[in-house]
Amino acid sequence: NAGVTQTPKFQVLKTGQSMTLQCAQDMNHEYMSWYRQDPGMGLRLIHYSVGAGITDQGEVPNGYNVSRSTTEDFPLRLLSAAPSQTSVYFCASRPKSNYGYTFGSGTRLTVV
């Protein structure tokens, strides 16, 4: 039981490049979400999903796309990276039965 797995752990992008941050969970959790963590800002919600095929925006969705084709996977796409997207990104999941989220170990992204 691996929990929430995020790949890659580290990534450097040039401004304007695109990439996908991967997130997979093996706990059959219905709910998944993406957060970014910046110094002095705390964790902020980017997008969330309440089940396969259903996604919605969080507090800071601009510049990011998501989709949820399976229960297990919830990738986060950056279509045209900007330096303001330099951050640590965390994926999390929870079961429908309680509100406690389990977090992955994060992806540290630098956009130059």
Partner 1 sequence: EDQVTQSPEALRLQEGESSSLNCSYTVSGLRGLFWYRQDPGKGPEFLFTLYSAGEEKEKERLKATLTKKESFLHITAPKPEDSATYLCAVQAGGGGADGLTFGKGTHLIIQP
14 binds partner 1 (CB under 8 A): no
Contacts of 51 (CB under 8 A, 6+ apart): 30, 31, 68, 71
Query: What DSSP designation does 79 have?
Result: S
With H, G, I as helix, E, B as strand and everything else as coil, classify residue 27: coil
Binding mask 32-71 for partner 1 (x = CB under 8 A): -x-x----xxxxxx--x-x-----x-xx------------
11 binds partner 1 (CB under 8 A): no
Binding partner 1 by CB under 8 A: which of 1, 28, 62, 98?
98
